[in-house]
Structure 1
Amino acid sequence: MPVKAKRALAAIAQPPHKKPVLRAGDVAAMSTVKFGGVTVVMPTPTPAQLKKRIAESSQMADRLIRAIAKPGIKLSLKKTTPVFVADSENPKLVIRKLDGKRTRGEFQNGVFVAIK
């Protein structure tokens, strides 16, 4: 690899908190990426950088899939907080879970009214 190319690659591979140092005559290959109306021009990553980023992306995707594959959500609620769920026997009603009790009812003018 020519010396100028090595220096250009070394400048690109520096950590992001350091500014790349290019000497006169060095040319860093640039890539252009478009996201809708946004265009980003950046130094082209090296094959090693690409391999590392692809591995990191794959690991992140695996963690995301495991996280969203679990059904439902977990709520940390006080016992005095009512939770309303649909009544599977009657779609016009809801079930209120409050203080360990389940009560069937409906909402009238925004207020829960128990059905007897």
Structure 2
Amino acid sequence: MDAQILTVDDSASIRMTTKITLTNAGYQVTEAVDGLDGLNKAKAGNYDLIITDLNMPNMNGLQMIEALRQSGSNVGVPIIFLTTESDAELKTRAKAAGATGWITKPFNAESLVKIVQKVLGR
């Protein structure tokens, strides 16, 4: 069975690019349009990996991760930030909240797939 990945980003073009990249690599992708949508889908689904943006309306990626980790759902699921931000303090906060990794936009499709494979161990 293919890995199930939830992507969370308010940018339609980033969601599309990420979905195409990961689908072409053999993954099943579900999209969410912001952190609140991502939180609801993550709680309702069974995902092997979550990839989220940081800056989004309704609920940002950091708040989404904190809510997920505090709720007890998706506790062991790796979460990767895919964002334009590269601030060291934000990375530290993200790690403390439960993020597994950090990819800076714009991203290279091949690099994204390699990171996903590494995180998933496949």
TM range (shorter): under 0.3
Max Rg structure: 1
Structure with the higher helix share, 1 or 2: 2
